[in-house]
Every structure is written in C-alpha cells, then in structure tokens.
Amino acid sequence: MRAVVFDLDGTLIDSLPDIASSVNVSLARRGFAALPADAIEKMIGDGAKVLLTKAFAAHGAQMTESDLDDFVIHYTAHSADETAPYPGIVEVLGALRAAGHPLGVCTNKPEIAAREVLSLLDLEQYFDVVTGGDATPYRKPDPRHLAAAVEALRAPSAVMIGDHYNDIAAAAGLGIPAIFAAWGYGRAESPYIARTAFELPALIRALPATEG
C-alpha cells in the first residue's frame, strides 16, 4: 500500500495565527513592530530559523540565536492556542489509515515542536513517522529529508502532499508524485492538485501504480 507523507503547516494544520504571534513576540523583545499575519504567511515553509531571519530582515535587522530561542520557547508553549486541522483532515486521515496506507509527516519545523502540536491536536495517533527539520542534516526541498520519512515507512511506493514549493520539489527530486494542497500558504506547480482535503483519497487512488 502506498505511503502518504504530509507536510505540516499549511497542509495538515492552519498554524498561521500561533506562528505569527510567536514571531511578533520575538520581534517585540527587540523593540520591533509586529508584522501582519499575511506578511508572515509568505515566510513560512523553510523552518523556524529561516522564518525568523526573514521576519527580522523585514525590519532591516539580523536575527540572533537568542531571538530564535525566544520564538521556539513561546511557540512550543502556545502552538495550539488558535491552530486547528484544516476542514476534512481528520476524516481523511482516518479513511487513509482504515484503507491501510502508512502515514507520515515530513516538515521543516523542529521535530519536538511538530510532535507537540500534533499531540495537542490529537493528530499524532494517525502517523507512523514524524520527520522534523532537525531530524536529518537536510531539509526540504532537499529530497534526502523526504527520503528519510519514506524509508522509515517501509512502503513500496509513496506520495508527498504539501502546500509549498519545497514539498513538490523534494518529491520530484526523490522521483515520487506530489499532490499540491491548494488550501495552504504556498504556491507550487504539480499535475496533481487538491482544492480541499476531501479530494485527497480519490487523487491518491488515481495515481499511476508505477509512479513513486
């Protein structure tokens, strides 16, 4: 049965409100004004360090390791204040598990933070593997990051589902198909597009048996 690997932020969960809040806490501690959520949304996808780097760069400043620590501490404590699964995600995860698909998460978010928010939202139960951005020396779009998740799932084939260019590029580099989650934060091109989570099971079933 084909393994299904999901991105986290912007794919499984709408985490923008809590991410934006934690970014702005870090900025405020350095005396910088808050950034609007729609600006922070465009910075999500490459992990916490890149996110903070971009946020401070918007004020013409450089991020420090202390700023990153502030963000991680605040976000870990508040990662599910306003975050929620996207509509249909819980139902689709249950259906895919019932159908026998091994399920995994491959995210550029630090693994402890990823597992914490999945646990708080009662989603961790669906996944056999969670591969965070610090779990390997690589991060998406490097296909070796995705490869670690796919190999751990021990399935003969796999598909990546994500809302960001990094997800689609990692899948292409690994030679597996990707379904673009059009409800998320990013932009990407893929021959397979889901407008809502409810479309995923049919798209996965329709993938060519020899692809990925």
Res 77: pLDDT: 92
Query: So what's the pLDDT on residue 211?
Result: 62
Domain range annotation of the chain: 3-14+84-206, 16-78
Please name the amino acid found at residue 49. K
The confidence score (pLDDT) of residue 163 equals 96
pTM, two decimal places: 0.93
In this prediction, residue 187 carries a pLDDT of 84
| End-to-end CA gap in the chain | 12
Closest among 49, 51, 31 to 39, alpha carbons compared: 51
Q: Thinking of the domain 3-14+84-206, which architecture would CATH place it in? A: 3-Layer(aba) Sandwich (3.40)
- Please give the full DSSP string across 176-195, using - where no structure is assigned: --EEEETTSS-----SEEES
Provide the edge-to-edge strand list for the sheet that holds 103-106: 129-131, 103-106, 3-6, 158-162, 178-181, 192-194
CATH architecture of 16-78: Orthogonal Bundle (1.10)
Q: Are 130 and 113 in contact (CB under 8 A)?
A: no
Domain pair 3-14+84-206 / 16-78, same fold = no
Contact 207, 177 (CB under 8 A): yes
| Mean pLDDT of each 10-residue bin along the chain, 212 residues long | 97 97 96 97 92 97 95 92 98 98 96 94 98 95 98 96 96 97 92 97 91 61
Residues with a catalytic annotation lie at: 7
